Amino acid sequence: MSDPEASVPLPSFSTVPPLPPMPGPERRQRGRWLPSIVWLIPVVAAVIALSLLIHALVERGPTITVSFRSAEGLIPGKTPVRYKAVDIGLVKSLHLAPDRSHVVATVELTSDAESFSTRDTRFWVVRPRIAVSGISGLETLVSGSYIGVDAGRSEVRRRAFTGLEAPPVVTTDASGKQFVLRAADLGSLDIGSPVYYRRVQVGQVVAYQLNPDGRDLSVRVFINKPYDQMVTADARFWHASGVDIKLDSGGFKLNTQSLATMLLGGVAFQAPDDSKAAAVAGDNTQFMLASDQASAFKASDELAPALAVLYFDQSVRGLSPGAPVDFRGIAVGQVRSIGIEYQRDKKAFRMPVVVELYPSRIGLSARDLADKHYARGIADALNKRGLRAQLRTGNLLTGQVFVAFDFFANAPPAKLSLDNPVPELPTMPGTFDELQTKLGNIVSRLDKVPFEQIGQDVRTTMASLDKMLSNADKLAAQLNGDVIPQVTVALQDARKTLHAANGALDTNAPMQQDARRMMQELTRTAISLRTLTDYLEGHPEAVVRGKKTDQEKP
């Protein structure tokens, strides 16, 4: 087979000079091989890689898994694990759980974070949050989310953890004590709600849960050190949540701890002022959480009061549970409940009011009440003296009513019912109801007054009076025309008579001078008579013989 290239004509190179002959190969003896410097580069790279691998193996800590409900904010290979702003690990991978209920994050901790793989260590995702305790995680708006850690104190190692959905309120390294409060309801409390002592925030609510029976719940609070020393064995806790508004017979009352409690709620505690207990309560001690401060500071006898029922035939408008029961101004109990009862025999309604009485406030002890004979004797004596319960208005502005015990001298006899499960105490109608009854009687009597007949008589009398006044006007006109001129003349004559009398009584008038001379003569006559009388007393014979002359005198 011919070569295809042989048929192709070659170009002509007639102008190119011929090439010189090629020299033959030179033979040399083979020497010792030396490595090239180029090979140092991969060797150095391998050494560096090996050192990095060894360093990574040395620095590598335990690998753990943390379960979260969602992987929001977590990025494999980028999301760090931080404790007190120090990176102690990194999220390596994320995958869904087989049941798709949660996300499992694989976290590789550093070698110096070996102590964080303990049983009670807690993990959570730090994101921007607005909670009761405040706003947190704002730095993640720039740097991104990360996993926060609360180091545990257990010695037991663990590799699988369940992450928290919210940051813990109190970390393990916080100093203080935790206490358990038993409450009837949670109110406005929440995790992070403040705890106050004399209006100073000393702690916060860290957890709450319903008790197994479902009748009440337990609230766990943390008190910071050194304020935990203020929690004594007889400390009283109460709700300081929101605004405590009370409107009763005492008026309008407003009480709150601070502006924060008005919005977020809170708990307050304090020992009684007369407390003598100095023992500090231990960790996890249980206390009762009262609904308000007044309930928290109730005396021991108020926790188990004596019950009694009062029946009123009048309206109980304005009376509410919790209203005070007092005896001459001193509170001896409070109203527990108010009802209505139909009496079939009388075909009427009456209002039973159940009250709580505190016997110690009137000088009676539990031992006195336990002795039925002694208690009955006291009750009978008070009943005979007229002790009765009465509804009275405590506040005219609000219309609130309270129950008052007092002695009434004119109280009708009443029978005590002390053998019933709840003793019945006698009552008296309220003064306001008595006033209403009296006003009703007055109105009924006024209805019987014949106002129409009286009006007709008044109209007749007014007509007669009008005629009399007309006659009086005529008489006055007649007097003005006839009598008054004659009276004027008489007055002029009287004036002349008085003028004449004044002239006669003047000192220089003749009549006055004659009267003076007459008085002088009468005076001289009286002197002569006195002289004669004196002479006759000395010479009575002169009446017969006459007055002796000077010659006849011896």
For residue 223, the model assigns a pLDDT of 94
Min mean pLDDT across 5-14, 445-454, 473-482 is at 5-14
Comparing 376 with 160, which gets the higher pLDDT? 160
More confident residue, 443 or 188: 188
Higher-confidence residue of 548 and 519: namely: 519
* Mean pLDDT, rounded, for 105-116: 88
**pLDDT of 6 higher than 70:** no
DSSP characters over 16-83: SPPPPPPPPPPP---------GGGHHHHHHHHHHHHHHHHHHHHEEEEEEEEES--TT--TTT-EEEE
Q: What is the pLDDT of residue 38?
A: 67
**What share of the chain in percent tops pLDDT 70?**
76
Structure confidence at residue 287 as a pLDDT band (50, 70, 90): very high
Helix or strand run (H / E) with residue 504 = helix 484-504
The one-character DSSP state at 9 is P
Give the per-residue SS3 of 318-338. CCCCCCEEEECCEEEEEEEEE
Contact 307, 357 (CB under 8 A): yes
pLDDT single digits (tens) 72-87? 889 999 999 999 889 9
* Contact (CB, 8 A) for 206 and 221: yes
DSSP letter assigned to residue 480: I
Please choose, from the candidates 434, 432, 427, 361, the residue with its C-alpha nearest in 3D space to the C-alpha of residue 401.
432
Residue with tokens 């006849």: 552
| Residues 30-77: tens digit of each pLDDT | 555 556 666 777 878 887 877 776 666 666 678 899 999 998 889 999
Q: Determine the average pLDDT of the residues in 227-248.
A: 78
- Among residues 359, 365, 248, 233, the alpha carbon closest in space to that of 287 is found at 233
Q: What angle do CA 456, 460, 461 make, to 5 degrees?
A: 115
Res 343: pLDDT: 86
pLDDT for residue 237: 93
Residues 6+ apart with CB under 8 A from 322: 248, 334, 335
